[in-house]
Structure 1
Amino acid sequence: MEELTVLVVDDDFMVASIHSRFVERVDGFRVVGVAATAAAALAEVERLRPDLVLLDVHLPDADGIEVLRQLRGSGNDVGVMMVTAAREADTVRAAVAGGAAHYLVKPFEFEDLRSRLDAFGRAHRALASVGGADQAEIDAVFAPLGGGREVLPKGLSQETADLVLAALADGTELSAAECAEVVGISRVSARRYLEHYAGLGTVKARLQYGGAGRPERRYRPA
């Protein structure tokens, strides 16, 4: 299997080193460079032509979203995985709009990165196939973690579903009202998404008692 090359972009040397070691543990991936600034990232993408960039948002000279925008604005379709502590809804939306393949919230475990690298590898190989792609190969391109695109209930969108899950990505526990505020949707809509994932077992729900009135239903990652 052809190795896919990776550029790691993070302004913290130790973090970049950890991420690089994680990548090197995944079969089929090889780190070819490390950059600590937005300017260096753009220059290294041009010089190294990597298959994938692990891109932090918080960089000293410009944020990673701007790097992503500049890459796309110049016609560069290199794979980009946002790897960052930033979890604001606006940042997640901008990453989705810029065509980021995945959005991984720091800190994370090796398996969290490995699963996303594996998914990226499947999508990359499907796109590189000669001739027309069959449905399974197309699904591999569009599925965030492989195994086919999730089928959501009528009225729910994948883009908003991704934002709802990102709001809970670092283990945060939220009510439907709090989730709605983070994502920028109505409380009723947020509850529909949260209950959908609670039914799938992706999210855990509990009742919080205290004070007057009905207990509050709160949600966190399973």
Structure 2
Amino acid sequence: MIKVVLIEDDPMVQEVNRQFIEKVDSFKVVGVASNGLEGINLVRSKKPELVIIDVYMPQQDGLQTLQVIRTERINVDIIPITAASDMETVRSFLQHGAFDYIVKPFKFERIKKALENYRSFRMKFDEKERISQQELDEFFFRKEQGNTFDLPKGLNALTLTKISKFLAETKVPISAEEVAEGVGIARVTARRYLDYLEKCGHVQIDFQYGGIGRPINRYKLNK
């Protein structure tokens, strides 16, 4: 069971978030606070694995609370759920190690996805003393894509990561054949991964015509 402390000043939002959190397997809300000062005391006493926190709160806001948690070196992870969508706030939370960032209003599926990613993270890494680069790549890439460690049958996360990195390093749209040569895989395999990335919205296709008028698909990573 993953223990969660919920810090949110709106009573109605508190209850909705609590129900959402406990609707996901393995998560239990062990304490609810209405501001950052109450919240930090709950974190100290309940020792949760995860804190779900708002930004705009009386007495002590969410970012100040996170800064106290990091200053005291409390071993807990943070996911903000907030109406704050300005880049300065988002960047500050990420710089202080937020696991995810959810902007209000949101649907249950969004918090479910965040919590499932977090649960997978705990299960995969808690019992390890060391971790390989491949395992890190698989985790960070899939977390970035916002899925729950599931890929279509026949696709490999490491190969997907390599292709994404190759596209990111390429300044101009390139063909599936060029991707295959750059990554070291077959052209038909590269095309499958590129089609998957395009369906997920992470790759854009440029249609370019060759000398005989036949269009060539060229791919570039969306920023």
Structure 2 CA distance, aligned partners of 1:18 and 1:32? 15
Q: 1:141 to 1:203 in 2, by over 3 A?
A: closer
Give the secondary-structure state (helix, strand or coil) at the position aligned to 1:133.
coil
Give the secondary-structure state (helix, strand or coil) at the position aligned to 1:22.
helix
Give the secondary-structure state (helix, strand or coil) at the position aligned to 2:78.
strand
Q: What code does the residue aligned with 2:113 have?
A: S
2:126 corresponds in structure 1 to 128
TM-score normalized with structure 2 length: 0.65
Structure 1 CA distance, aligned partners of 2:79 and 2:23? 17
1:21 corresponds in structure 2 to 19
1:101 corresponds in structure 2 to 99
Q: What is the aligned counterpart of 1:59 among 57, 60, 67?
A: 57
Q: 1:54 to 1:199 in 2, by over 3 A?
A: same
2:201 corresponds in structure 1 to 201
Larger radius of gyration, structure 1 or 2? 2
Q: What is the aligned counterpart of 1:110 among 104, 108, 112?
A: 108
Q: 1:123 to 1:14 in 2, by over 3 A?
A: same
Q: 1:68 to 1:140 in 2, by over 3 A?
A: farther
Structure 2 CA distance, aligned partners of 1:74 and 1:46? 10
2:169 corresponds in structure 1 to 154
Give the secondary-structure state (helix, strand or coil) at the position aligned to 1:102.
coil
2:87 corresponds in structure 1 to 89
TM-score normalized with structure 1 length: 0.65
Which segments of 5 or more consecutive residues in structure 2 lack a partner in the other structure?
A: 150-156, 172-196, 205-223
Over aligned residue pairs, what C-alpha RMSD do you find? Answer: 2.7
1:5 corresponds in structure 2 to 3
The number of residue pairs the alignment matches comes to 162
Shift of 1:36: 0.5
2:190 corresponds in structure 1 to none
Cα offsets for 1:156-200 (capped at 9, x unmatched): 9xxxxxxxxxxxxxxxxxxxxxxxxxxxxxxxxxxxxxxxx9985
Q: 1:73 to 1:109 in 2, by over 3 A?
A: same
Contact 1:126 1:133 (8 Å CA) reproduced: no
Shift of 1:139: 3.9
Contact 1:50 1:78 (8 Å CA) reproduced: yes
Cα offsets for 1:140-166 (capped at 9, x unmatched): 65334354696351289xxxxxxxxxx
2:214 corresponds in structure 1 to none
Q: What code does the residue aligned with 2:56 have?
A: H
Q: What code does the residue aligned with 1:39 have?
A: L
Q: 1:40 to 1:141 in 2, by over 3 A?
A: farther
Give the secondary-structure state (helix, strand or coil) at the position aligned to 1:5.
strand
Structure 2 CA distance, aligned partners of 1:76 and 1:141? 23
Shift of 1:135: 4.8
Give the secondary-structure state (helix, strand or coil) at the position aligned to 2:25.
coil
Which segments of 5 or more consecutive residues in structure 1 lack a partner in the other structure?
A: 157-196, 205-222
1:46 corresponds in structure 2 to 44
Contact 2:4 2:29 (8 Å CA) reproduced: yes
Structure 2 CA distance, aligned partners of 1:61 and 1:135? 42
Q: What code does the residue aligned with 2:109 have?
A: E
Structure 2 CA distance, aligned partners of 1:155 and 1:75? 40
Structure 2 CA distance, aligned partners of 1:129 and 1:140? 17
Contact 1:126 1:141 (8 Å CA) reproduced: no
Contact 1:51 1:78 (8 Å CA) reproduced: yes
